[in-house]
Amino acid sequence: MAVAFTINGKAASVDAGPNTPLLWVVREHLKLTGTKYGCGAGLCGACTVHMDGQAVASCQTMLSAVAGKKITTIEGLSEKGDHPLQKAWVAEQVPQCGYCQSGQIMRAAELLAKTKTPSREQIVTHMDGNICRCGTYPRIVRAIERAAREG
């Protein structure tokens, strides 16, 4: 049975099992590969997407849960890739390996949508749970602060 939802502003309908993780729907069925597989257990944040504006681990969100919802992936954050966070990420040279970055940006976008000028403490608290194996946390915080300032 097909599940209908909106992804990156476009209607989608995917015929897959109801317990298929959204991550695999996004990557395999819809061919949007910016969302990454990290741990598969909802512990690392690499697969973060927005569901109705809330950051969720797509590896732990089942297809049945997205019926009628609005999903945003890194590809849908900005049509031209010029979201203030994306520009700040480049300016602050955040990525090292880059694998976790789409999840980091999506988590940060949730914060900035709710809190226009978050404190450093709010940033650190909000980003807790998104893991960067390369340890670029100071650059991530600076990029979020820059995006809040310049956004």
pLDDT at residue 151, rounded to an integer: 83
Q: Which residues contact 31 (CB under 8 A, 6 or more apart)?
A: none
pLDDT at residue 119, rounded to an integer: 98
| CATH number of the structural domain 2-75 | 3.10.20.30
In the chain, what are the domain boundaries? 2-75, 84-150
Could you please state the CATH topology (level 3) that the domain comprising 84-150 is classified under: DNA polymerase; domain 1 (1.10.150)
pLDDT at residue 76, rounded to an integer: 97
Question: Cα(71)–Cα(115) distance, rounded to whole angstroms?
Answer: 20
Asked if residue 77 lies in contact with residue 83, where contact means CB atoms within 8 angstroms, the answer is: yes
Residue 48 Rama label (left phi>0; alpha psi -120 to 50; beta): beta
Helix/strand/coil percent split, the chain, to 5: 40, 15, 45
H/E stretch holding 146 reads helix 137-150
Task: Provide the 8-state DSSP code for 91.
Answer: H
pLDDT at residue 136, rounded to an integer: 96
Q: Which residues of the chain, if any, have pLDDT below 50?
A: none
Structure pTM? 0.96
